[in-house]
């Protein structure tokens, strides 16, 4: 327990260091991925990027649990999932009420991530992600084929999944 308290104490003193370290590592991996021609290596890099997002969220949750994060300086880390094969997915681009029992995360792949300041409600952040995904994709760390955000896409924030519905978003987990 003393080791954990020391780690948390260090994080309290330098609470943004881990965040920037993860971002720098993610940017480096994205550059390597873009230059890589080996599909197995690209797959391994994509897994590392997802793990970095997971690490960033675990650190955020640990800091939050011990009240070491000031709410005004926190960020949301979001991952965008899109259906891999829309031509063969019976619920691609359909409203949530019609497909809620058919949604399967195996049909999806992570295509992009973004970190946004934690301002406003979760619905406002989801709306901001939606708008950026349709107007300024340069804000995203793209990890695969990333088309504009649309109905049937899934946005993960704080380990919670939100289905992009025809109007708004539906929490699905």
pLDDT of residue 66: 53
Digit-coded pLDDT (tens) for 129-171: 999 898 888 888 888 789 999 999 999 998 899 999 988 999 9
94, 45: one domain? no
Among 25, 49, 71, residue at a domain's last position: 71
Residue 98: CB partners within 8 Å, gap ≥ 6?
Answer: 91
Where do we find the tokens 């920037």?
Answer: 20
Residue 149, both tokens: 């955000």
55, 85: one domain? no
165, 102: one domain? yes
What is the domain count for the chain?
A: 2
Distance, in Å, from the CA atom of 39 to the CA atom of 14, rounded to the nearest integer, reads: 37
Distance, in Å, from the CA atom of 162 to the CA atom of 155, rounded to the nearest integer, reads: 5
90, 127: one domain? yes
Digit-coded pLDDT (tens) for 76-130: 889 999 999 999 999 899 999 999 999 999 999 999 999 888 778 888 899 999 9
Among 25, 54, 71, residue at a domain's last position: 71
Angle (nearest 5°) at CA 89 between 86 and 92 = 60
Query: pLDDT averaged over the chain?
Result: 78
Residue that wins the pLDDT comparison between 47 and 5: 47
83, 38: one domain? no
Residue that wins the pLDDT comparison between 69 and 9: 9
Distance, in Å, from the CA atom of 57 to the CA atom of 128, rounded to the nearest integer, reads: 20
pLDDT of residue 71: 46
pLDDT of residue 10: 57
80, 30: one domain? no
Q: Which domain holds residue 6?
A: 1-71
62, 89: one domain? no
Where do we find the tokens 């939050």?
Answer: 64
107, 47: one domain? no
Give the model's confidence band at 3: pLDDT under 50 very low, under 70 low, under 90 confident, else very high: very low
Among 71, 100, 121, residue at a domain's last position: 71
91, 63: one domain? no
**Sheet holding 75-83: strands in order across?**
141-142, 108-117, 75-83, 154-157, 160-164, 169-171
39, 82: one domain? no
Digit-coded pLDDT (tens) for 46-80: 777 777 666 666 665 665 555 544 444 468 889 99
């Amino acid at each position: 327990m003393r080791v954990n308290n020391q780690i948390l104490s260090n994080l309290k003193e330098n609470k943004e260091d881990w965040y920037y370290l993860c971002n720098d590592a993610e940017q480096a991996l994205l550059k390597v991925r873009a230059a890589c021609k080996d599909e197995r290596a690209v797959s391994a890099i994509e897994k590392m990027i997802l793990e970095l997002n997971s690490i960033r969220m675990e650190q955020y949750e640990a800091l939050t649990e011990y009240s070491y994060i000031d709410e005004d300086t926190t960020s949301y880390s979001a991952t965008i999932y899109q259906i891999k094969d829309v031509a063969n997915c019976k619920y691609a681009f359909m409203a949530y009420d019609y497909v809620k029992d058919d949604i399967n995360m195996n049909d999806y792949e992570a295509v992009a991530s973004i970190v946004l300041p934690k301002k406003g409600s979760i619905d406002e952040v989801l709306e901001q992600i939606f708008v950026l995904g349709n107007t300024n994709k340069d804000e995203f760390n793209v990890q695969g084929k990333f088309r504009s955000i649309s109905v049937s896409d899934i946005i993960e924030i704080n380990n919670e999944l939100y289905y992009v519905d025809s109007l708004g978003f539906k929490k699905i987990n």
